[in-house]
Chains A and B, each alone.
Chain A
Amino acid sequence: KAGVTQTPRYLIKTRGQQVTLSCSPISGHRSVSWYQQTPGQGLQFLFEYFSETQRNKGNFPGRFSGRQFSNSRSEMNVSTLELGDSALYLCASSRDSALPDTQYFGPGTRLTVL
């Protein structure tokens, strides 16, 4: 079974631009969560989607948004990029958010903001 895939793997943007990252979960998984990883703040939860609905949201500004499609694929968008948005963005999927199921992570998208 294919794992979680994320595209693109690397991105370079400039301040003020916007970016869209994509995540395809493991087949059959309906929950997708996003995390930001930086050296200073570590791993921080962004949001979780289940059945096309946002189930939970972390403490990030409104510039960070996401959505989930009917096939469970998810995208996250960051508008008006800031230098501090440079990070590894990780997506994770699990079968059902109503159970304490294991989250499986993708390889991440490395975003660099210049």
Chain B
Amino acid sequence: AQSVAQPEDQVNVAEGNPLTVKCTYSVSGNPYLFWYVQYPNRGLQFLLKYITGDNLVKGSYGFEAEFNKSQTSFHLKKPSALVSDSALYFCAVSLLSDSWGKLQFGAGTQVVVTP
């Protein structure tokens, strides 16, 4: 069975410092990985995805993620965090065998950026 884990419930970072949100996955085939962000009382906003190709994926709002097959990880990064990046971040995986319409989400990581 496929699964995705976000080992940190919360990440605290000072504004201007690098931000990393961790994600690891466990799948039997080729993973297709996504990052979403959720602000209070809002739906999920798409940040970036890895389908194939370059392991470093660049996304919206200055975020990027690195796909590491050997470590089965897909960590989200931002070189310089902003207070407005404070939100709930979700990593998700989908498999062809499940159809693309089914995303399996991690538990989420709350990011708190302090001024």
Task: Mark A residues whose CB is within 8 Å of B.
Answer: 4, 31-33, 35, 42-43, 45, 48-50, 55-56, 58, 90, 92, 94, 97-108
By a CB distance below 8 angstroms, the chain B residues around A90 are: 43-44
Task: Tell me the minimal C-beta distance from A104 to chain B in angstroms.
Answer: 6
State the B residues within 8 Å of A (CB).
Answer: 32, 34, 36, 42-46, 49, 51, 90, 92, 94, 96, 98-108
Chain B contacts for A97, CB-based, 8 A:
99-101
Q: Do A31 and B34 have beta carbons less than 8 Å apart?
A: no
Residue of A nearest to B32 (CB): A100
| Main DSSP-derived SS at the A contact region | strand
Select which of B32, B43, B98 is within 8 A of A4 by beta carbon: B43
On whether the beta carbons of A99 and B100 are closer than 8 Å, the reply is yes
B70 to chain A, nearest CB (A): 22
Could you give 23 example pairs across A and B, Cβ below 8 Å?
A31-B101, A33-B102, A42-B106, A43-B92, A43-B105, A43-B108, A48-B99, A56-B101, A90-B43, A90-B44, A92-B103, A94-B100, A94-B101, A97-B101, A99-B100, A100-B32, A100-B100, A102-B46, A102-B49, A103-B34, A104-B46, A106-B43, A108-B42
Q: Which residues of A contact B45 (CB under 8 A)?
A: 105
For the complex of A and B, the 4 pairs showing the least CB-CB separation, nearest first, are A48-B101, A105-B43, A43-B105, A105-B44
